[in-house]
Amino acid sequence: MNQRDEDEFREFVAGRMESLRGLAYLTCGDWQAAEDAVSTALSKLYVRWSRVSAPYTYARRTVIHAAIDETRRPWRRERSTSPDLLDRPAPDRIDPEDHAHVREALLRVPRGQRAVLVLRFYEELSVEETAQVLGRSTGTVKSQTAKGLEALRAALGHHDFHAAIG
């Protein structure tokens, strides 16, 4: 990689790191796994930097897939209670008092549906954009959105669903 590409990559990482970490965290529900997913995605992006025309689109897609892969790893099924991981701020797309409850409820939504919900409502992607990122049809994204919202409603229980998701 030449110096110009190296500088562009560093600038990209500096400007997008928090967004990618939040996306990974909402997808996998664990800060350590989210860090690993972002690291994996950025490593792949670094190697392909000069050939990637839309770096954030590529990084977002790679982070989602890496975060889902992280949840499949057997050693990730146990929750870390390390204080430095518990003190990390959660993405602030929802009312702060609902963060913990919504995060826990989101973790009860199946992985694929969770990825769709995170892309649709956290990243604010359209159905078509979400389908492209995940490599699924728009029909699948629509049905996964409906099923995911239903699962999230059920997981939220008695809490006000609409207030919780903003």
Q: Where in the chain is the domain with CATH 1.10.10.10?
A: 93-166
111, 76 contact by CB (below 8 A):
no
pLDDT higher than threshold 70 for residue 95: no
pLDDT higher than threshold 50 for residue 89: no
If you average pLDDT over residues 67-75, what whole number do you get? Answer: 75
Q: CA 74 to CA 126: how far, in whole Å?
A: 32
Distance of CA 122 to the CA centre of its chain: 8
Between 98 and 20, the higher pLDDT residue = 20
If you average pLDDT over residues 17-40, what whole number do you get? Answer: 92
Q: What pLDDT score does 61 carry?
A: 92
- Answer CATH for 93-166 from 1.20.58.100, 3.40.50.300, 1.10.287.130, 1.10.10.10: 1.10.10.10
Distance of CA 75 to the CA centre of its chain: 20
Pick from 38, 36, 47, 43: which is nearest to 16 by CA? 38
pLDDT higher than threshold 70 for residue 68: yes
